[in-house]
Structure 1
Amino acid sequence: MLADLKVKVGPQFYVYDKGAIDRYVPQLLHEYRAQKVLIVHGKVSWEKAKPYLGFVKEAPEQFYYHQYTGECSYYGTDLITDIVRAEGIDFIIGVGGGKLVDLVEYAAHVNNVPCGVIPTMASNCAPWTPLSVMYKESGESEGKSEHYLRQAAFFITDPYLVIDSPVEYFIAGLADTIAKWYESDLILNQAELLNYPFLKLAKETTILCKDSILAASSEAIKDMQAGNVTDAFVNLSEIVFAIAGLVGGLGDKYARNAAAHAMHDAISKYLPKSHEYLHGEKVAYGILYQLALEERWGMIDDLLPFYEELHLPRTLADMGLAPTPTEKEEIVAFINSKDKVHLIPIEISPEKLGRAMENLENYILVK
């Protein structure tokens, strides 16, 4: 029996279809008996989303608006909390990208208010997951917060809205999503975990994520660049922002993330120049780092053509990052402090974590 397995499958209602926002959001607000609704949004994405939000003009609810700071931060949470308390907000809707929906879900958790999310891009699984990655306003990583009280009441968006987002965010999302398999493969294949039904489902879902993306990314990216909403684009964007989140929902800590995301968090915390790169781009480097840690060099070789095609960073040098000895020690100590890294069934020590960084740089250098 796994006494520590917590299954939180996903949002209570999910639809990804043309016209879905105006078709379903009014019904759900009515079902939740919402009276005062706060819409939290970004800037550029908000302008693109407005034509899809006809319900705000016709719905009987009273709407309030707040443009977030650009970070999912405790400061940003306080700003939302002030509005919730001052106006008696009883429902929050987040319209935007990953950091925004993370912020809305965390703020809803803090204020004990239901929320819904309308993602405007497929760059990560934030709209689906029951946790928020927290940052300082400077962009420095500040850990994460799980939502024990709720997940989103709804996750509804439109592929014609999502396809009009920057393609580099979609590419970063593809990289972030294949990490689900590479981070959890050794963990979920341990003999003592093989017979748990939810972990079996999580494992099969990671395979779906990896295989679909490696097979169809080129087609989906070309379709997005051309503005064509095709099955390839819809299927992969859905895998990025929904199915990938289902992995962690089913498998909890055993399938959510491990060394690849720990490396992302570490360089985000200790190497400020890394803030120039998207979450998924840093995770892409982290995948190769975890494989180097596991000494699975053949898998790195298999992935390199995919990385070259999508222009993903393979090393710290690819990102123009050169940590000092002190920074490297801080990165290694941070990774070593994460319980999720120690779930990988191999020897984990500061020395080995540091060697893996060096070995990967040297391995790629001679490729």
Structure 2
Amino acid sequence: MLTELKVKVGPQFYLYSQGAIDEVPNLLAEYAAGHILVVHGGVSWEKAQPFMGFLEDQQYQVTYHRYTGECSYVGAELIAEVVKATNSDFIIGVGGGKLADLVGYAAHLVNLNFGVIPTLASNCAPWTPLSVMYKENGQAEGKTEHFLRQAAFMVSDPNLVIDAPVDYFIAGLADTLAKWYESDAILQQPHLKGSPFLALARETAVLCKEAIMTDSAKAIADMKQGHISAEFNRLSEIIFAVAGMVGGLGDKYARNAAAHAIHDAISKYIPESHQFLHGEKVAYGIFYQLALEGKWAVIDELRPFYQELSLPQSLHQMGIYPKDQTVIDAIITFIESKEKVHLIPIVITEETLRQSLDQLEDYIGKG
């Protein structure tokens, strides 16, 4: 019987619709917020400002802080310093995934409530109470900070989200697709089938996969035209909300496995990988996990979809395969050290991890 499952479902309040951001003052009143710190980026903030009229209300004292562009320990400490200097009692993060991660971790450090207003659909960071940490130079720390503080709200408007770069949306689709391929084999193990929350996690992962495989082409085409269609709305919500529920319901058994482990590894040890978005590297990671599991037929089934969305399938295809074998050694050692990889019900050793990496490169082709 599974007894140690930690269920963290999501924000206290969620709304994604036209005019949804107008609801934020009611949410701030629920938390008696008056001294608000708004953490934002650059271009995304310029696009978001027309939606943020409530900040001009005289009932609020507002401080603005532009983050460094990374979810880093340095960036979190900077926010903590601003909170103390301004006596802020609530934090609002406006931007993408790294900003959402940063705001969540900073709010955890200073013990404040926070809300997030996503400006794009590229991952489930706005939903989840965890932060993937990076250095200020963009190199991955190889570490994720988990905390118990959920966002007070996650609110956005499709009119804002559709104006984001399409590449981020496609990367979000790939990152969300990984929810199924990373959790499927783990959740099918007999000793895990008795948990109702894990059953919910698996069904949620199925929902994510089926919607992405069915609606992606239409949603991407609509986004390029600036048309807020049912498909675009549905996949946006799946990327930044529903995907977060998979790990929220399933804890470590449904959060991520080898696809994200190798993402973290190449982000840490291959600086050239920084040119690729999180979801693009995870897309390659899906193929790596499938290779590790020996599921070559599934890779064949996915290749047309990958080609349609221009998703990377191998390190050689990405142009970042390390010439120095010590880098490969470091990547393999890093992956093997991660508990989440060993949840996959197969034998995991440094030898099998290296063999799978090489086999995938050969299978996809090095040209």
TM range (shorter): over 0.9
- The equivalent residue for 2:175 is 176
CA separation in 1, counterparts of 2:202 and 2:35?
41
Structure 1 runs (4+) deviating above 3 angstroms are none
- The answer on whether the counterparts of 2:16 and 2:156 sit within 8 Å (CA) in structure 1 is yes
Q: Indicate whether 1:224 and 2:223 are aligned.
A: yes
Correspondence list, 1:1-367, <5 A: 1-22=1-22, 24-58=23-57, 60-142=59-141, 143-148=143-148, 150-323=149-322, 324-365=324-365
Deviates more, 1:56-65 or 1:165-174: 56-65
RMSD: 0.9
- The answer on whether the counterparts of 1:268 and 1:274 sit within 8 Å (CA) in structure 2 is yes
- The answer on whether the counterparts of 1:259 and 1:340 sit within 8 Å (CA) in structure 2 is yes
Alpha-carbon shift at residue 172 of structure 1 (Å): 0.2
CA separation in 2, counterparts of 1:51 and 1:318?
40
Query: The residue matched to 1:340 in structure 2 has which SS?
Result: helix
Query: The residue matched to 2:4 in structure 1 has which SS?
Result: coil
CA separation in 1, counterparts of 2:122 and 2:59?
33
Query: The residue matched to 1:195 in structure 2 has which SS?
Result: coil
Query: The residue matched to 2:138 in structure 1 has which SS?
Result: coil
CA separation in 1, counterparts of 2:171 and 2:220?
11
Deviations for 1:258-307, whole angstroms, at most 9, x for unmatched residues? 00000000000000000000000000000000000000000000000000
Query: Which residue identity is paired with 1:358?
Result: D
TM-score, normalised relative to structure 2: 0.98
CA separation in 1, counterparts of 2:110 and 2:65?
16
- The answer on whether the counterparts of 1:26 and 1:59 sit within 8 Å (CA) in structure 2 is no
Alpha-carbon shift at residue 312 of structure 1 (Å): 0.3
- The answer on whether the counterparts of 2:123 and 2:239 sit within 8 Å (CA) in structure 1 is yes
Query: Which residue identity is paired with 1:28?
Result: L
Alpha-carbon shift at residue 195 of structure 1 (Å): 1.6
Query: Which residue identity is paired with 1:65?
Result: Y
Query: The residue matched to 2:39 in structure 1 has which SS?
Result: strand
Query: Which residue identity is paired with 2:185?
Result: L
Structure 1 regions of 5+ residues with no counterpart?
none
Query: Which residue identity is paired with 2:11?
Result: P
CA separation in 2, counterparts of 1:362 and 1:177?
26
CA separation in 1, counterparts of 2:129 and 2:105?
9
TM-score, normalised relative to structure 1: 0.98
CA separation in 2, counterparts of 1:260 and 1:311?
18
- The answer on whether the counterparts of 2:259 and 2:285 sit within 8 Å (CA) in structure 1 is yes
Alpha-carbon shift at residue 251 of structure 1 (Å): 0.1
Q: 1:59 to 1:354 in 2, by over 3 A?
A: farther
Deviations for 1:148-167, whole angstroms, at most 9, x for unmatched residues? 2x110000000000000000
Aligned-residue identity in percent: 63
CA separation in 2, counterparts of 1:214 and 1:302?
11
Alpha-carbon shift at residue 35 of structure 1 (Å): 1.6
- The answer on whether the counterparts of 1:259 and 1:341 sit within 8 Å (CA) in structure 2 is yes
CA separation in 1, counterparts of 2:6 and 2:270?
33
- The answer on whether the counterparts of 2:131 and 2:146 sit within 8 Å (CA) in structure 1 is yes
Query: Which residue identity is paired with 1:159?
Result: P
CA separation in 2, counterparts of 1:35 and 1:327?
50
CA separation in 2, counterparts of 1:29 and 1:128?
18
Query: The residue matched to 1:253 in structure 2 has which SS?
Result: helix
Alpha-carbon shift at residue 4 of structure 1 (Å): 2.2
CA separation in 2, counterparts of 1:56 and 1:131?
27
- The answer on whether the counterparts of 1:213 and 1:236 sit within 8 Å (CA) in structure 2 is yes
Query: The residue matched to 2:339 in structure 1 has which SS?
Result: coil
Alpha-carbon shift at residue 59 of structure 1 (Å): 5.3
CA separation in 2, counterparts of 1:27 and 1:35?
12
CA separation in 1, counterparts of 2:44 and 2:58?
22
Alpha-carbon shift at residue 58 of structure 1 (Å): 2.0
Alpha-carbon shift at residue 318 of structure 1 (Å): 1.3
CA separation in 2, counterparts of 1:338 and 1:314?
22
Alpha-carbon shift at residue 366 of structure 1 (Å): 8.4
Query: The residue matched to 2:167 in structure 1 has which SS?
Result: helix
CA separation in 2, counterparts of 1:196 and 1:4?
11
- The answer on whether the counterparts of 2:182 and 2:254 sit within 8 Å (CA) in structure 1 is yes
Query: Which residue identity is paired with 1:355?
Result: Q
Deviations for 1:35-88, whole angstroms, at most 9, x for unmatched residues? 200000000000000000111112511110000000000000111011111111
- The answer on whether the counterparts of 1:42 and 1:96 sit within 8 Å (CA) in structure 2 is yes
Alpha-carbon shift at residue 106 of structure 1 (Å): 0.3
- The answer on whether the counterparts of 1:121 and 1:169 sit within 8 Å (CA) in structure 2 is yes
